[in-house]
Amino acid sequence: MAQKYFIHTFGCQQNVADSERLASFYESRGFVRAKKMELTDVLILNTCVVRDRAEEKVYGMIRSLRQRLGLASPRMVVTGCLIGAAARVPDGKMMKRLTTRLPDVEFLPMEDVGFEYVPERAKGKTASIVISNGCNNFCAFCIVPFSRGKEQSRPFQDIMIEAKRVAEDGYEEVLLLGQNVNSYGADVLAKKIKEGEAYELPDGEKVKPVMVKHLNRHRIPTLFPYLLERIASIPGFKKISFLSSNPWDFSDELIDVVARHQNIDRTLHLPIQAGSNEVLKNMNRWYTREEYLALVDRIRTRIPTVRFTTDIIVGFPGETREQFEETIDLVKRVDFDKVFIAWYSPRPGTAATKNMKDNVSIEEKKRRFAELDAVTFKGHGKKM
Ligand code: SF4
């Protein structure tokens, strides 16, 4: 009889999409999907480490399942961001914690799964397509460059083939995913800049990569506007969304593509993280509040029906009351449709953990969270 597998996914939509590839990986090895966690031979936990609690939840789930099922416990496999971070955070403490607390669990790096497996997608209207993995930005608070490694864009042609297949399968909506989705292709174009060559798209169009002055620095161009335009032109798609964009990579070309295609989602998620220039600088975010506001204005001028959502961290190391008030002021000015708020917690390996003092008390972080939540709550928001 075929062995059964069950995948439990923690965290973000990219993890959900990764689990669809994991399902395909196991099915290609003869496993069949179990209906319940309690009835499986192999339990795969696709983990998250974005918050402190996320890591604890993995340990807690394994412990309680083993207590409940005793000798009938399934073989356990841990994959995802916890494994990636443990392998890459230089001090090795996370790996030590992992191997000490989970001595008899197998570890499966997502790199070993790769992208060759056609995702076993859940039934529904929307298909997720992962277009890139990892991030090179090293925002001071963020563990993603460790948990997922350097940014790697999938080949343009592979994504187009997957998108066309998804349309043929009858999906009407597609969600393009990447940790820094709109920097898709910057890694490829950076090499072309060095070589002094143009990049040829699968349909023959040549992209001449030139560094452009954008916001306050020179920026590597990306292939995202080209990819988005081609996916939006595939017959059958009624809605194309993308997550998560960095304001830094939100170019005028991208604004034009969104404006030109009515089937691209008019709700744009554009994480600001903080409304104070000093805090943004300390966070290693590469834009100022003025540049962010100007970007919002530019997008609103070209796409009048646009709605914005954002992420904000309150209580980042050193954030003063006045700096927090600048965040309040900014959210009022932009009038976001939804704000995902988190209070700062140190994550292993990050610049904030290594170099900054977590000096805003937990009580004050909670107060700022509640205050911002009250300002931004419109009756349909979701708290992190
Ligand atoms: S751009 Fe996003 S994923 Fe990358 S380091 Fe910053 S917050 Fe993390």
**Are residues 51 and 135 located together in one domain of the fold?**
no
Q: What is the CATH number of the domain that holds 43?
A: 3.40.50.12160
**Are residues 212 and 289 located together in one domain of the fold?**
no
Angle at 349 between CA 348 and CA 352, to 5 degrees: 90
Cross-strand pairs, 243: 177
Domain count, the chain: 3
Q: In the structure, what pLDDT confidence band is assigned to residue 384 with cuts at 50, 70 and 90?
A: very low
329-344: per-residue pLDDT in tens? Answer: 999 999 999 999 999 9
What confidence score (pLDDT) does residue 4 get? 97
**Are residues 132 and 63 located together in one domain of the fold?**
no
Q: Which domain holds residue 292?
A: 272-384
179 lines ligand 1 (CB under 6 A): yes
**Are residues 107 and 144 located together in one domain of the fold?**
no
Neighbours of 290 (CB within 10 A): 11
Q: In the structure, what pLDDT confidence band is assigned to residue 381 with cuts at 50, 70 and 90?
A: very low
273 lines ligand 1 (CB under 6 A): no
More confident residue, 265 or 69: 265
DSSP E strands: which ranges in 90-196?
Answer: 106-108, 126-130, 132-133, 152-153, 173-177
Question: What distance in angstroms lies between residue 140's CA and the mean position of ligand 1's atoms?
Answer: 9
Q: What pairing do the DSSP bridges indicate for beta strands 217-219 and 212-214? A: antiparallel
Q: Which of 113, 147, 173 represents a domain boundary (last residue)? A: 113
Sign of the torsion angle spanned by Cα atoms 204, 210, 213, 218: positive
Q: What is the CATH number of the domain that holds 137?
A: 3.30.750.210
Cα separations (Å) of 59 from 49, 97, 108, 304, 349? 12, 10, 16, 47, 20
**Are residues 139 and 80 located together in one domain of the fold?**
no
**Are residues 282 and 234 located together in one domain of the fold?**
no
What confidence score (pLDDT) does residue 214 get? 63
200-225: per-residue pLDDT in tens? Answer: 999 999 998 887 776 667 778 899 99
What is the percentage of the chain residues whose pLDDT exceeds 70? 97
Amino acid letter for position 233: S
Q: What is the CATH number of the domain that holds 339?
A: 3.30.750.200
What confidence score (pLDDT) does residue 379 get? 52
What confidence score (pLDDT) does residue 128 get? 97
- Average pLDDT value for residue range 308-324: 98
Question: What distance in angstroms lies between residue 201's CA and the mean position of ligand 1's atoms?
Answer: 27
**Are residues 261 and 277 located together in one domain of the fold?**
no
**Does position 383 have pLDDT exceeding 60, yes or no?**
no
- Average pLDDT value for residue range 371-377: 91
Judged by average pLDDT, the poorest of 68-82, 163-177, 206-220, 269-283 is 206-220
**Are residues 70 and 141 located together in one domain of the fold?**
no
Question: What distance in angstroms lies between residue 136's CA and the mean position of ligand 1's atoms?
Answer: 8
Measured by CA distance, the residue closest to atom 6 of ligand 1 is 139
- What is the best residue among 183, 246, 283 to mutate for testing ligand 1's pocket, by most ligand atoms within 8 Å of CB? 246
Question: What distance in angstroms lies between residue 297's CA and the mean position of ligand 1's atoms?
Answer: 23
- What is the best residue among 14, 51, 130, 135 to mutate for testing ligand 1's pocket, by most ligand atoms within 8 Å of CB? 135
**Does position 52 have pLDDT exceeding 80, yes or no?**
no
Please state, rounded to an integer, the average pLDDT across all residues of the chain. 93
What confidence score (pLDDT) does residue 216 get? 64
114-146: per-residue pLDDT in tens? Answer: 898 999 998 889 999 999 999 999 999 999 999
More confident residue, 229 or 217: 229
What confidence score (pLDDT) does residue 208 get? 87
> Residue 27 burial by CB count (10 A; 0-12/13-18/19+): exposed, middle or buried?
middle
Q: Which residues contact 141 (CB under 8 A, 6 or more apart)?
A: 273, 283, 313, 316, 344, 347, 350, 352
**Are residues 154 and 33 located together in one domain of the fold?**
no
- Average pLDDT value for residue range 58-65: 92
What confidence score (pLDDT) does residue 323 get? 98
263-305: per-residue pLDDT in tens? Answer: 999 999 999 999 999 999 999 998 999 999 999 999 999 999 9
Q: Which of 239, 265, 291 represents a domain boundary (last residue)? A: 265
**Are residues 137 and 225 located together in one domain of the fold?**
yes
**Are residues 132 and 242 located together in one domain of the fold?**
yes
- Average pLDDT value for residue range 14-21: 96
pTM: 0.93
Q: Which of 222, 247, 265 represents a domain boundary (last residue)? A: 265
**Are residues 304 and 384 located together in one domain of the fold?**
yes
